[in-house]
A and B are shown apart, each in its own frame.
Chain A
């Protein structure tokens, strides 16, 4: 019998401590919430236990002498193309526990990333590129249902609008902070997102965990989410935001609900979610009042009634095989915004098998949904937003060229405040103070500093988008939206090109 489970023998990371530089200051001991570092009384020095290391790099980042390096465990199994260490370790774990494998953050699997196979265009000679430092370069975007046409009455005082335009979300950048519930991440980051969104003129999404009372003042820059668990949903909450989002599915875990472990539910989370402290908050897989599209229609209109038609209603689905038909139904059911969440979208916790094997790349879903809505002549009726795995401004601009109105970013927002994608969000012990509600850990995120970093990120991407847009000879984002002529595929086959609706480079 082994003295500890097999799964712990084959640890993923090793901690390399340069003993000459280590001053035994114990910063690493205090920083590591997984207790990989500890004070060894017998030896009178700091020691570590590699098996506990999750590879978050917190100790490495904070070590005052730079004596720590976190490395992948070099211990090799015999080479086997089929049985890679990942799969073996999964099995060791399941042999230990009999449970479902759990993961945090989006799928790391090596599946095609279509963003990387798309190249943008630039102007040469026949039309001038535009320099955003000298000329206006417009990114403003309105999300919501638009009528098919505008009626204007010419009066002696000037033109007067006769058409009534439904409620819209006004965005100064075609980006939003995606749904991360209060509970899955802590209050400090919710506040930071609210502050950053307000500063930037964009919106953030509350996720399914309700809205903390002190954040209601940021309502104009908030999308309030209604998910299957209905956590924290009440009339004031619905009326607090600039829009309501019905979360039907999440890219990281299509087809299943959510599970916020009781460890993450403290007093504040409990009050906001309206669930008891320490109890698991479980969102059912489906909405139990939506078993079909006509039920969705009823929920959409129930929410519109509850808010007196003042705010747009968004419906978020995971990108799955029949996304175009589903999206068409959603638009016809009265949604003002459709969100497609790809399988690379982040999560606080998802069953590993589902995260890595369910759903389709959002690039393909986006292209097909945009086509479908245009083919049916209903593209104006709803805005299209994509989420899930946009890593940089180029991904954002490619999404827009494929047909998205705006992009949700979440993982990149977390990376901006320190996340290293160690993928252990579900433990509630995030050493970076992100996916944790432990007082000692969450104070590692200062809302003001985090807000500044989020603001910087979106502004930086905004500048880059402006540069690329100007390079293509365009000076407003709406002229890029759905303009796939500005994209070319590289290394894609005929079918992929046809699905994406782009020509191959060289053509």
Chain B
């Protein structure tokens, strides 16, 4: 798309963070108290200006419908968003997201969720795939202002806001949810007053991402995405990661493994030492997707309904620890947070720089 006017004039969000994730390969459900406790252990990795969780398998009764989570400044904004959603989707459920009042969570926006299916006869964008159609509508709502769709997958949801993760979990009553994949995030922003939408996880469709790091390549990643019709509106690194994953994996059909090599490409001298076939692949990835390389320190956890991937930048400038226990795999900024919720582990290791750890569900 054509870059909007003044596209260059943005202020990027900078933050440090703690991340935690757990996946049960057998899809056994894990209660929310586990990720909450794990995040509590890493309280000091945040500053109370952002916390959040993503959970997969939480809406089994409505697993075929897209669950839109919205945060709205006021009722009017929600009404506007609802009108837009009505125009493009059939709404089967429209309800507030259950919350409880928490002392430490001040002035929360209006939280609402819709379970929707795309209209048979679309008013616009007939030529797009169903998923692109959904992304387009979400972009439309988010650009209109006042209301913000922060979760849009099936049988999954993100819950996030301004506060420490344990407070946000309390606010969203996450102890009442069970999921087979959980990710959590504790945020330490340094230049934003704290916007609810800016907290992690960042999700689009079924993707959820939590991220610790600062992507120094943000400026070009953002422009590259704009070329591919993704408009970064939140000025966070994580948004960039989410859109890139959507582009590389969903649209361009790359595997997780290959996408991770776009984010954290092997160094040229490693590529030069590879066999001819591998060299061709990695050379091509760097040539074509150089603008998608995430340069700068990061540890990210990426999830979809079947996968959890942990990835470090190619110089490993942020911590990431992996642990296994029976059918569960943990990924975290700190081993302590894993030990807190699962003291006995089968295996613990720190993945190498740029080497993805990809865990698929088996059930």
Contacts and interface: CB of A to CB of B under 8 A. Distances in A.
Interface of A: 123, 126-128, 130, 135-136, 138, 140, 142, 146-152, 154, 157-161, 163, 165, 168, 371, 374-375, 377, 379-380, 472-476, 478-486, 497-498, 501-503, 507
A482 to B, nearest CB: 5
B6 interface: yes
Contact of A502 (B8, B223, B277): B8
B142 interface: no
Interface in B306-335: 314-315, 317
A152 B288 contact: no
B190 interface: yes
Given A126-B16, A152-B281, A474-B295, A482 B216 contact: no
Contact of B278 (A148, A151, A159, A484): A159
Contacts of A478: 220, 286, 290-291, 293
14 contacts: A126-B190, A127-B216, A151-B253, A161-B284, A375-B2, A379-B227, A474-B296, A476-B293, A478-B293, A479-B216, A480-B220, A498-B6, A503-B9, A507-B11
Contact of A482 (B14, B223, B251, B277): B223
Contacts of B217: 474, 479-480, 483
Given A154-B257, A157-B277, A476-B293, 17 more contacts: A126-B15, A126-B214, A127-B317, A150-B288, A152-B254, A152-B255, A161-B281, A163-B288, A380-B288, A474-B295, A479-B295, A479-B296, A484-B8, A484-B219, A485-B10, A497-B8, A502-B8
A475 B290 CA distance: 12
Nearest to A367: B8
Contact of B227 (A377, A498, A507): A377
A128 B316 CA distance: 11
B8 A154 contact: no
Nearest to B286: A478
A473 B12 CA distance: 15
Nearest to B265: A476
B227 A474 contact: no
B218 interface: yes
A475 B8 contact: no
Contact of A150 (B277, B284, B293, B295): B284
Given A127-B213, A147-B288, A479 B220 contact: yes
Interface residues of B, number: 58
Contact of A161 (B218, B224, B267, B280): B280
Contacts of B216: 123, 127, 472-474, 479, 486
Nearest to A153: B281
A277 B226 CA distance: 55
Given A130-B315, A157-B277, A165 B254 contact: no
Interface in B144-196: 190
B349 interface: no
A128 B227 contact: no
A482 B288 contact: no
Interface in B79-104: none
B281 A482 contact: no
A300 to B, nearest CB: 21
Contacts of A157: 277
A150 B254 contact: yes
A374 B226 contact: yes
B29 interface: no
A485 B3 contact: no
A165 B281 CA distance: 10
A123 B317 CA distance: 13
B293 A375 contact: no
Contacts of A479: 216-217, 220, 290, 293, 295-296
Contacts of A140: 268
B285 interface: yes
B255 A154 contact: yes
A473 B287 contact: no
B289 interface: yes
Given A146-B288, A483-B220, A503-B9, A158 B295 contact: no
B174 to A, nearest CB: 29
A219 to B, nearest CB: 22
Contacts of A507: 9, 11
B252 interface: yes
A111 to B, nearest CB: 24
A355 to B, nearest CB: 32
Contact of B223 (A374, A472, A473): A374
Given A472-B216, A479-B220, A374 B3 contact: yes
Contacts of B1: 375
Q: Give the residue among B3, B10, B295 with the most A Cβ atoms within 10 A.
A: B295
B267 A136 contact: yes
B293 A485 contact: no
B258 interface: yes
Contacts of B15: 126
A305 B259 CA distance: 35
Q: Give the residue among A138, A371, A478, A484 with the most B Cβ atoms within 10 A.
A: A478
B310 to A, nearest CB: 20
Q: Kindly list the 4 A-B residue pairs having the minimum CB-CB distance in the complex, ordered from nearest.
A: A485-B219, A478-B290, A479-B295, A479-B217
Contacts of A168: 287
A498 B278 CA distance: 42
Contacts of B344: none
B297 interface: yes
A21 B343 CA distance: 88
Nearest to A168: B287
B317 A150 contact: no
A163 B284 CA distance: 8
Nearest to A143: B287
Nearest to A487: B219
Interface string B212-235: 011011111011101110000000
B362 interface: no
B14 to A, nearest CB: 5
A135 to B, nearest CB: 6
B126 interface: no
Given A479-B220, A483-B219, A473 B214 contact: yes
Contacts of A473: 214, 216, 295-297
Q: Give the residue among B2, B257, B265 with the most A Cβ atoms within 10 A.
A: B2
A371 B190 CA distance: 30
A71 B293 CA distance: 53
B346 interface: no
B8 A142 contact: no
B151 to A, nearest CB: 27
A404 to B, nearest CB: 12
A160 to B, nearest CB: 6
A165 B6 contact: no
B124 to A, nearest CB: 20
Contacts of B285: 150, 152
Contact of A160 (B254, B265, B281, B289): B281
